[in-house]
Each structure stands twice: as C-alpha cells, then as structure tokens.
A and B are shown apart, each in its own frame.
Chain A
Amino acid sequence: MSWFRKPSSTPLWRDEFPVFTADEQFVNRRQFTKFLTLTSFGMMVGNLWILGKSMFHRPASYPRVPVAAMDEIAVGGVKIFNYPSADDPCILVRTVADEYVAYSQKCTHLSCAVYYEKEQNRLECPCHQGFFSIADGSVLQGPPQRALPRVVLEKKDGRLVAIRMETESL
C-alpha cells in the first residue's frame, strides 16, 4: 500500500497522533478525499456482494404436503394451514365447486393475516385495508405493493397437496 501513502519526512505516528488537539481534529483535503474513496470502495463491495449472492443463488426446494381432502371444505369455505414451514400460515379457499386456491396468509405490506371476504370474493388485510384478488393474489387496492405468494396445489387421490410457492416477479 505504499502508493496509498507517499513517503514523507513526517513519521506516520506524528501524522496520526499529533501533539496539538487542533491538529488531530483537522481533516485536510487529502484525508477527506481518501475517506470518500474508501466509501466508494464500500459501495462497490456491496454491489459485488449482491452479485455473489445472485450467482450462488439456489432455487428453494419445497416439500409436498397434503393440505386437505377435496370435500373437506364447502364452496366459499376456507382452511388455514402452514406451508412450507410451521411458521408460514397459508389460507386455502374453495372458490367454486371444483376450484381451490391457496395463498400465503401474510399480507405483503406488514405481515398481518389476510382473510377471505366471501361477499366481495377477495382477500382482505384488516390492518390497513389492503385487498387482494382471489384469482391470482394480485393487489386490488391498499398499501401493499406486491401480490400474495401463491401456493401451488396438486389434486391427488381426492386430496389437495401443496407442492411449491410462487412469488410474483415485479
């Protein structure tokens, strides 16, 4: 790092720990520019960190979890379940006789639990009046900016099986 500090007649210790307090607090142009350049280096490291994270990103693997029997829920009825982990509440809705949809129950605004509003056929977050489409989980109204993550369901032997989560790409 010799190029970063030019050889000087003043020893480093005297520059770093001067005798007078005023000298110690004085920041000259060169020091200030060095600080800005180091900050710039930090910004570049941040961008490289994001690049590394994106290069070594692995798609998440989801378990296959039976959610409910197909005749367990009445039309317009709901069932709460947890997927993919026990800490991720989801809501399953039987919209018509042969159609089931499931979404994460955490509102994408501030993670309040959404519930199914049968009269309006939509999902509602009661905390800040956010509304989501029951068809695809997209935002209809309110403060949320992102759609609800959708649980992909598979019908097998009269049961609904959750196979993965799908998140909307903005």
Chain B
Amino acid sequence: MNTNPPQKRGLTAIDGAMALIVILLLVQIWLLSATLESYLAGHREVALPGAIISAILFAVCLGLYRFVDRIDSEVRRG
C-alpha cells in the first residue's frame, strides 16, 4: 500500500509523464530528420508511415499533457 501523501504521488506521476513526453519528443525529432533525409534521397514512400507514426506520437503526447494538466489541477486543489 502506498503511504505517500496524495500530493507527492501526484508530483511523481507528473514527473513520470513529463519524462515520457521528453522521450517521445526525442523519437519524433529523430523521425522527422530521418524522414526528411529519405525524402531528399528520393524515397518518397517513407513519408506516409513517417507522418502516421508522428501523428500517433503527438496524440500520445497530447494525452499525457491532458493527464499532467488534470493531475496538476487536482494536486493544487489539495
């Protein structure tokens, strides 16, 4: 059973979510550079999977942001 106070648990959850967003963002930056590199090399077929994966990563980031937003509001309310 977790004996941490709710505020500390909330902050831990927020820190975890932020770390995950940073990792996803790094993956997205790499994906954009790799897609651009392939496109400029004449491989236009990589553009669609690149865009789909990037959109999924953004959706996850958005979900995590909303999670952080909600938890932060709850923690501030006490």
Whole-angstrom CA separation of A44 from B25 in the bound complex: 10
Query: When the two chains form the complex, which single residue of B18, B25, B35, B44 contacts A57, counting CB atoms closer than 8 Å?
Result: B44
Question: At the interface with chain B, which of A32-40, A66-74, A76-84, A117-125?
Answer: A32-40
Contact for A36 among B25, B39, B43, CB less than 8 A: B25
Would B32 and A43 count as touching, CB distance under 8 A? yes
Known: A50-B47, A51-B48, A54-B44. A37 touches B21 (CB 8 A): yes
A39 to B17, CA, bound (A): 16
Q: Are the CB atoms of A40 and B25 closer together than 8 Å? A: yes
Interface magnitude class on chain B: 35 or more
Chain A interface helix/strand/loop/mixed: helix
In this assembly, does A170 line the interface, its C-beta being within 8 Å of a C-beta of chain B? yes
- Residue A47 is within 8 A (CB to CB) of chain B in the complex: yes
Question: Which chain A positions have C-beta within 8 A of B48?
Answer: 51, 54
B72 to A29, Cβ gap below 8 A?
Answer: yes
Q: Is the interface of B mostly helix, strand, loop or mixed?
A: helix
Q: Do A40 and B18 have beta carbons less than 8 Å apart?
A: no
Q: Quick check: is B41 within 8 A (CB to CB) of the other chain?
A: yes
**Complex Cα gap A167–B41 (Å):** 9
* Residue in A30, A37, A40, A47 whose beta carbon sits within 8 Å of that of B35 in the complex: A47
Give the Cβ gap from B32 to chain A, nearest Cβ, in Å. Answer: 5
Task: Find out whether the CB atom of A43 lies under 8 angstroms from the CB atom of B65.
Answer: no
Across the interface, do B36 and A40 meet the contact criterion of CB distance under 8 Å? no
A46 on the B face (CB < 8 A): yes
By Cβ-Cβ distance, the 6 closest A-B pairs, closest first, are A47-B54, A54-B44, A54-B47, A40-B61, A43-B28, A51-B51
**New A-B pairs, 14, CB < 8 Å, besides A37-B65, A40-B57:** A3-B66, A29-B18, A40-B28, A43-B29, A47-B32, A47-B54, A48-B51, A50-B36, A51-B47, A53-B39, A54-B39, A54-B44, A57-B44, A169-B42
Could you show 12 A-B contacts with beta carbons less than 8 Å apart? A33-B14, A33-B68, A36-B18, A37-B64, A43-B58, A47-B50, A48-B51, A50-B32, A50-B47, A51-B48, A54-B47, A54-B48
Give me the interface of B with A, judged by CB distance under 8 Å.
14-15, 17-18, 21-22, 24-25, 28-29, 31-32, 35-36, 39, 41-44, 47-48, 50-51, 54-55, 57-58, 61-62, 64-66, 68-69, 72-73
